[in-house]
Amino acid sequence: MRARDARRRAGLELLAGRLADRYGHPPDALGEAVAVLQVLTSFETFDALAGPDRSPQDVANQVHRLAITALGLPSGER
* 24-57 residue pLDDT tens: 776 677 888 899 999 999 999 999 999 999 999 9
Using alpha carbons, select from 36, 34, 45 the residue that is nearest to residue 12: 34
Is pLDDT above 60 for 6?
yes
Predicted pLDDT of residue 76: 60
Q: Can you give the length of the chain in residues?
A: 78
Residue 71 or 76, more confident: 71
Please tell me what DSSP assigns to residue 42.
S
Is pLDDT above 80 for 74?
no
3-class DSSP state for residue 63?
Answer: helix
Confidence (pTM): 0.78
Task: Determine the Cα–Cα distance for residues 3 and 17; give it in Å rounded to an integer.
Answer: 21
Please tell me what DSSP assigns to residue 29.
G
